[in-house]
Chain A
Amino acid sequence: MKKGSQPTFEETAGRYIENAQLRWNIGHATRTIRDKRQLVVQELDDWEELREAGRQIKQKVMNSLDRYLLQLEKSVIKAGGVVHWATDAEDANRIITKLIKEKKETDVVKVKSITTDEIRLNRALENEGIHALETDLAELIVQLAGDEPSHILVPAIHKNRAEIRELFKDKLNLKELSDEPADLAEAARLYLRKNFLKANVGISGGNFAIAETGTVAVVESEGNGRMCTTLPEALITVLGIEKIVPEWKDLEVFMQLLPRSSTAERMNPYNTFWTGITEGDGPQEFHLVLLDNGRTNVLADETGRQTLHCIRCSACLNVCPVYERTGGHAYHSVYPGPIGAILTPQLRGLDDKSAASLPYASSLCGACYEVCPVKINIPEVLLHLRNRVVLHRKKEGGFRQKTDPVHLAMKFLARAFAKKSRYERLQKMGRTAQWFYEKDGAISNLPGELSKWTSIRDVKPVPDKTFREWWRER
């Protein structure tokens, strides 16, 4: 993707907010999941202890990521798998394309994987004449519509049943089809079953990889994950390097945290754990592609590093007041919502204007931190990134940046707030200057650059007597 080729959050968020149907769909979805999540989380009296253990395990992994990767590589090879390393999207796509071409295949089946969305794998394969069929119901809907996912867990949440019915009738050549979810699911089942049976190569992501044993986990609901990881002769799994956990035992923590935070179930219907190759059971060829694609940049930032703890549950999306109103598309990234607002800019770098706008797509209310199953302090990272964005602009911006009104105003305020006498003098000046703008005890109409602030909110005027003045008099 060309840097800066995407719009910023502010540029398009307004348009998504105005789409009433979209807002209803997303609002309904996020409310439903977060209420359900609350119930299954309350049920566990050791939830906080689980979160803390989850955080500690992930932190331990990040502190020795190279060692765990080498251990994983060794275990996977020992179990009969092949390990590939990819520095970026292009590297990964080249490896995967080559593997499929060696098998002379033109059609492959795919389990939903955001990591493969991140590297635009489907498009890269399409360019090489390989069709990757999405088999998760929502991903299939998105793929058939030529659309983009809008939620980590339920990517087609922006579409309602009537829209899906029309899409299936058109693309799957069905004459009769109702808009009942059960009938729509049945249509997908029949269409995909044929493809599962004939596919020779499956592609998946992975939720966890165990360094000690080489075991990879796919967590899912529909059974398409089991199909793709069991039926084909060869399986290619793309795994972000941060998805490692040290030991099998660690899954007793994550397999409690993830389902309850994600689908809001005690356990999601299917989990598959495979260790390399098993003779006579499942694929007889297994390739694991370890992907960096900016993750080591995230690791290099001590405050931002915790972003790599993310297990992609999407609980933070469902509680976010900003996501609930704009939906996922406004983020212009495969990682939307609060986690996307901190992950995307770190993965893509701050030269990317679209990504650099995301840390501002938040009210800093902190709900995301509260629900995060691995305790990522998202507000802390958001503020840290805002600071980095400003410093980056200053460094790159040259003279124009230095004379930018916002920058100058901030500098001025920083000076004013640094010393009591300056602050009080400024208050007095404000009291004199504000008479022109004050109306009924509020200022709603400031001039010039300041009008951006008052165009959407009122400012309280400086009172006749400030607290300090009142205090001194007593």
Chain B
Amino acid sequence: MSNSRDQILMRIKQALGDRTDDSDDKIVREYNQKSNLSAEEITGLFEERVNEYRAVTKRITEDELPGELQKLCEDAGVKTMVLPTGINESWLSDLSEPVTLLRDQPDRLSKQELNECDAVLTGCFLGVAQTGTIILNAGPGQGRRVLTLLPDFHICVIRQNQIVRMLPEAIRKLDQTVSESGAPVTFISGPSATSDIELNRVEGVHGPRNLHVFIIN
């Protein structure tokens, strides 16, 4: 095995011949990295772009969230809802029978249990307006990756101040996550989809088929 390693490294050295050191090679980054949109414009754009993926968005105040959650569960027939560690408990105050809450602590939920759940409720790390993307980094209120994968309905709560305009801004904010904690990062842009059959877009192949985003002003 180490033999293959030496061979590959040797072939690369031979292939490159007498190259020059690249340590001074500066990448010219003249693409847009910041924007001057107001918070309100950014939120509007985020909402529009998330909707284009056929995900549902709703702008509400934090006080309205518990009532909205209860109503959504009723309308969508959600009976069981998964909650990640560190979820904001005040969001849950209006949830009552028949919705059963399943917590991923102190014992982790099994794959089978998660597979049988109707929905999952999470917060998120960031939103990106330009692309209509929600970013999870396994922080509090987001939990393990599998929680947002097996249930068929993902309800995500995002605060207006978590939304950035452009992808480069988001990537830079994630730098610490990746470089220091090494936590996994997931980008979610609308529900799971495929265009594999005659290029017809079908929502929902393997991931959650429904994505609902509450934007808190």
A residues touching B (Cβ–Cβ < 8 Å)? 25, 28-29, 32-33, 45-46, 49-50, 52-53, 56-57, 60, 63-66, 69-70, 79, 84-87, 91, 95, 135-138, 141, 154-157, 160-161, 164, 181-182, 184-185, 188-189, 192-193, 196-197, 210, 212-215, 221-224, 226-227, 230-231, 241, 248-253, 255-256, 259, 263, 265-276, 278, 280-282, 290, 292, 296-297, 299-300
How long is the Cα–Cα vector from A221 to B198 in the complex, in angstroms? 16
Which of B11, B174, B175 has the most chain A CB atoms closer than 10 A to its own CB?
A: B11
Please count the residue pairs between chain A and chain B whose beta carbons lie under 8 angstroms apart in the complex.
247
Q: Are B171 and A222 in contact (CB under 8 A)?
A: no
Q: How many B residues are at the interface, by size bracket? A: 35 or more
Task: State in angstroms the CA–CA spacing of A84 and B208 once bound together.
Answer: 34
Contact, CB under 8 Å: A29 / B199: yes
- Give 1 or 0 for each of B38-58: 1 = CB within 8 Å of chain A CB: 000000000001000100000
CB distance from B111 to the nearest CB of A (A): 5
Known A-B contacts: A32-B199, A222-B192, A281-B183. Give 11 more (CB < 8 A): A95-B1, A154-B195, A181-B202, A189-B206, A192-B206, A213-B179, A221-B205, A230-B146, A231-B146, A271-B187, A272-B184
B31 touches A53 (CB 8 A): yes
With A33-B199, A278-B183, A281-B144 known to touch, is A87 a contact of B7 (CB < 8 Å)? yes
Assess whether A63 is in contact with B19, with CB atoms less than 8 Å apart: yes
Cα distance A33–B199 when bound, in Å? Answer: 9
Of B60-68, B75-83, B86-94, B127-135, the one with at least 4 CB within 8 A of chain A: B127-135
Q: Give the residue of A249, A266, A297 whose beta carbon is less than 8 angstroms from that of B189.
A: A266
Residues of chain B within 8 A (CB-CB) of A223 are 149, 192, 205-208
Tell me whether B106 is interfacial, beta carbon within 8 Å: no
Q: Assess the B168–A136 pair: CB atoms within 8 A.
A: no
The 10 A-B residue pairs with the shortest CB-CB distance, nearest first, are A223-B207, A223-B206, A300-B15, A296-B11, A271-B187, A267-B131, A275-B182, A138-B196, A252-B171, A222-B205
Q: B residues within 8 A CB of A197?
A: 111-112, 115
- Report chain A residues within 8 Å CB of B96: none
Interface contact A63-B184, CB-CB below 8 Å: no
Complex Cα distance, B189 from A255, in Å, reads 13
Write the nearest CB–CB distance from A45 to chain B, whole angstroms.
Answer: 7
Least CB separation from A60: chain B residue: B25
Contacts A281-B138, A296-B15 given: A45-B202 contact, CB under 8 Å?
no
